[in-house]
């Protein structure tokens, strides 16, 4: 069983939801990324989405775009990201790790090389934002051989017919984009999300995690009432940007406090 599946099964038995923070790897540096990952787990994160920096992150808003730029200024590569996962695994073999990014760095490395390195490092899932499932047969096949989950995005504009086709390809969990827009938007409507999730649950048994627009503990708690997982990114990345010149322990601690508040709110809503 994939580590992600085990996490969701365990949480379901506890009547709890997965808290899934996103941070950009290498922003402001690799050591701070590792320290922040560790602290977030201590405060209640179950799965970490680790952003692979890319020059044109089209699905991301200004906050995460700038994080990509800062990371690339440090010359952070896909190899660096994978190596960081391996470092994390030396201290944590339970938390799920999902790499989230765009296709170009993977194609440059080569599908087979990427999948082999990701498996060795301890990666559990991959979100490739700009790879449509119709063009992912080879890549998904390689991931399947190594029990790494291909995770796809669904949006409010995804038709039921298209959603069914995407869900056939998806493993681990579904990433439901809660609104029309980029990461960091602040127009989330919980009722609309609830209705969309009801539609999707008729098509799949996979856990559904909701992201985009979750900016505080209250929102995380509300979403945890209707979803199997809560994905939070921009508020964490923004906090890291505010503290970018501070010591890594201070950055990690401040980001982890946000996670702690969300975890507490989510558990109260169980």
CATH of domain 3-269: 3.20.20.70
Residues paired with 96 in a beta bridge: 47
Contact status, residue 54 vs residue 102, Cβ threshold 8 Å:
yes
Contact status, residue 123 vs residue 82, Cβ threshold 8 Å:
yes
User: Which residue out of 5, 60, 222, 248 is catalytically annotated?
Assistant: 60
Is there a catalytic annotation at residue 192? no
CA angle, corner 94, sides to 144 and 220, nearest 5?
95
Map tokens 């997982």 to a residue. 229
DSSP calls for 187-231? ---HHHHHHHHHHHHTT--S-EEEESS--SHHHHHHHHTT-SEEE
Query: 14: how many CB neighbours lie within 10 A of its CB?
Result: 10
CA atoms within 13 A on the CB side of 35: 16
Interval 151-189: pLDDT, tens:
999 999 899 899 999 999 999 999 999 876 544 445 677
Is there a catalytic annotation at residue 10? no
Candidates 184, 225, 191; CA nearest to 208 is 225
DSSP calls for 20-38? EEEEETTSS-HHHHHHHHH
pLDDT of residue 151: 97
Gap between the Cα atoms of 26 and 85, Å rounded: 12
CA atoms within 13 A on the CB side of 11: 28
| Phi, psi (degrees; rounded to nearest 5) at 47 | -135, 140
Stretches in the chain below the pLDDT threshold 70: 180-187
User: Which residue out of 49, 140, 222, 248 is catalytically annotated?
Assistant: 49
Kindly list the domain boundaries of the chain, sorted by start residue: 3-269
Contact status, residue 251 vs residue 7, Cβ threshold 8 Å:
no
Gap between the Cα atoms of 237 and 197, Å rounded: 27
Number of continuous H segments (helices) and E segments (strands) in the chain: 12, 9
pTM: 0.95
pLDDT of residue 197: 94
Interval 189-202: pLDDT, tens:
788 899 999 999 99
């Amino acid at each position: 069983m994939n580590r992600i599946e085990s996490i969701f099964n365990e949480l379901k038995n506890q009547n709890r939801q997965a808290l899934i923070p996103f941070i950009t790897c290498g922003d402001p540096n690799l050591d701070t990324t590792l320290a922040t990952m560790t602290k977030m787990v201590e405060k209640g994160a179950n799965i970490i989405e680790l952003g692979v920096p890319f020059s044109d992150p089209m699905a991301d808003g200004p906050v995460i775009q700038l994080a990509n730029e800062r990371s690339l200024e440090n010359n952070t590569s896909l190899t660096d990201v994978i190596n960081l996962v391996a470092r994390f695994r030396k201290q944590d073999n339970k938390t799920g790790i999902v790499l989230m990014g765009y296709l170009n760095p993977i194609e440059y490395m080569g599908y087979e090389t990427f999948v082999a390195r990701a498996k060795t490092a301890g990666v559990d899932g991959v979100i490739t934002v700009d790879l449509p499932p119709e063009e992912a047969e080879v890549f998904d096949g390689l991931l399947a051989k190594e029990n790494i989950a291909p995770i796809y995005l669904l949006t409010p504009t995804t038709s039921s017919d298209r959603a069914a086709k995407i869900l056939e390809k998806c493993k681990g969990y579904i990433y439901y984009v809660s609104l029309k827009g980029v990461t960091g938007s602040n127009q989330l409507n919980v009722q609309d999300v609830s209705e969309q999730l009801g539609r999707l649950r008729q098509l799949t048994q996979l856990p559904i995690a909701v992201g985009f627009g979750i900016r505080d503990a209250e929102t995380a708690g509300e979403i945890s009432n209707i979803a199997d997982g809560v994905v939070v990114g921009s508020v964490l990345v923004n906090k890291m940007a505010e503290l970018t010149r501070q010591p890594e322990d201070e950055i990690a601690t401040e980001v982890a406090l946000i996670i702690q508040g969300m975890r507490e709110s989510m558990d109260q809503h169980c």
